């Protein structure tokens, strides 16, 4: 198993980073929050989990070991593969997921694309007493403190991809109505989807 990769960042894309390790470029699937902390040419260390399939080898990268461990634990639930586990971590931090499970917050899980009401109920039952208590705090407000808002995450990710602050500001403003519609409907904006939409607006203006 590849426990981590360390080296200069060779490239950053909306859902992938390339880390140069011993002269070899390792493509690592990451959440927008993890990607937002990377800068091309700067050294980075990502905890990793290698997912082996008959026709592919996919390396998933995380900001720390805790996030990696939660990613692997999520996949022990029936119906949860690596993509859904990563989507859950793209929407919620590890502590936010622990808080959601410990408080039975079904709405928090349905905010993840691919998880419906019945799926959320099943996951709450499967993960009860398995994810543990939040490491930071058990206070209900801990979820918002554990991870920045969607606009901050999106802005940081765009700057990390090489766009100027002004361009990032304009792109965030362009997708804000879409995010506000999601919030008005009782959902949580999905940063990965907003990032793709923001990149499309930037590409049209260039």
The first and second tokens of residue 101, run together, are 């499970």
* Full-model pTM: 0.67
**Tens digit of pLDDT for each residue in 91-129?**
888 888 988 888 888 888 988 888 999 999 999 988 887
Q: Does position 204 have pLDDT exceeding 70, yes or no?
A: no
Residue 72 has pLDDT above 70, yes or no: yes
CATH (one of 1.10.8, 1.10.150, 1.10.10, 3.40.50) for 148-205: 1.10.8
Tokens at residue 189, please? Answer: 């904006």
**pLDDT score recorded for residue 51:** 92
Give ranges for CATH 1.10.8 in the chain.
Answer: 148-205
CA gap 55, 161 in Å, rounded: 30
Question: What per-residue confidence (pLDDT) applies to 113?
Answer: 85
| CATH architecture for residues 4-62 | Beta Barrel (2.40)
Query: Which residue(s) pair with 43 in the sheet?
Result: 8
Give pLDDT, residue 32: 86
Q: Per-residue pLDDT for 147 more than 90? A: no
Contact 14, 5 (CB under 8 A): no
Say which residue, 60 or 131, is predicted with more confidence: 60
Higher pLDDT, 169 or 206: 169
- 144 vs 65, residue with greater confidence: 65
Q: What residue spans in the chain does CATH classification 2.40.50.140 cover?
A: 4-62
Report the percent of the chain where pLDDT is more than 90.
34
The CA–CA distances, whole Å, from 150 to 120, 141, 192 equal: 22, 16, 10
Mean pLDDT of the chain: 84
Q: Does position 160 have pLDDT exceeding 80, yes or no?
A: no
Task: Name, in order, each residue with C-beta under 8 angstroms of 22's C-beta and a sequence gap of 6 or more.
Answer: 7
> Does residue 6 have a pLDDT over 60?
yes
Considering only the top CATH level, what class is 66-144? mainly alpha
pLDDT in tens, 7-47: 999 999 888 999 999 999 999 999 888 988 899 999 999 99
CA-atom Rg of the chain in angstroms: 17
Output 143 or 200, whichever has higher pLDDT.
200
* 125 phi/psi in degrees, rounded to 5: -70, -45
* Integer angstrom CA distances of residue 49 from 24, 69, 140, 183: 18, 9, 30, 32
pLDDT of residue 136: 58
């Amino acid at each position: 198993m590849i426990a981590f990769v360390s080296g200069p960042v060779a490239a950053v894309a909306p859902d992938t980073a390339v880390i140069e390790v011993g002269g070899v470029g390792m493509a690592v699937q990451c959440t927008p929050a993890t990607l937002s902390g990377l800068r091309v040419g700067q050294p980075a260390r990502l905890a990793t989990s290698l997912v082996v399939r008959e026709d592919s080898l996919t390396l998933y990268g995380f900001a720390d070991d805790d996030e990696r461990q939660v990613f692997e634990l999520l996949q022990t639930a029936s119906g949860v593969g690596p993509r859904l586990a990563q989507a859950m971590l793209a929407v919620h931090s590890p502590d936010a997921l622990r808080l959601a499970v410990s408080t039975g917050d079904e709405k928090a899980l349905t905010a993840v694309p691919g998880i419906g009401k019945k799926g959320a109920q099943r996951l709450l039952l499967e993960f009860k007493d398995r994810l543990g208590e939040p490491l930071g705090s058990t206070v209900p407000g801990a979820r918002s403190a554990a991870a920045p808002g969607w606009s901050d995450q999106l802005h940081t990710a765009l700057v990390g991809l090489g766009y100027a602050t002004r361009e990032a500001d304009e792109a965030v403003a362009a997708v804000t109505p879409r995010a506000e519609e999601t919030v008005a409907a009782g959902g949580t904006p999905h940063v990965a989807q907003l990032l793709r939409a923001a990149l499309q607006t930037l590409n049209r203006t260039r």
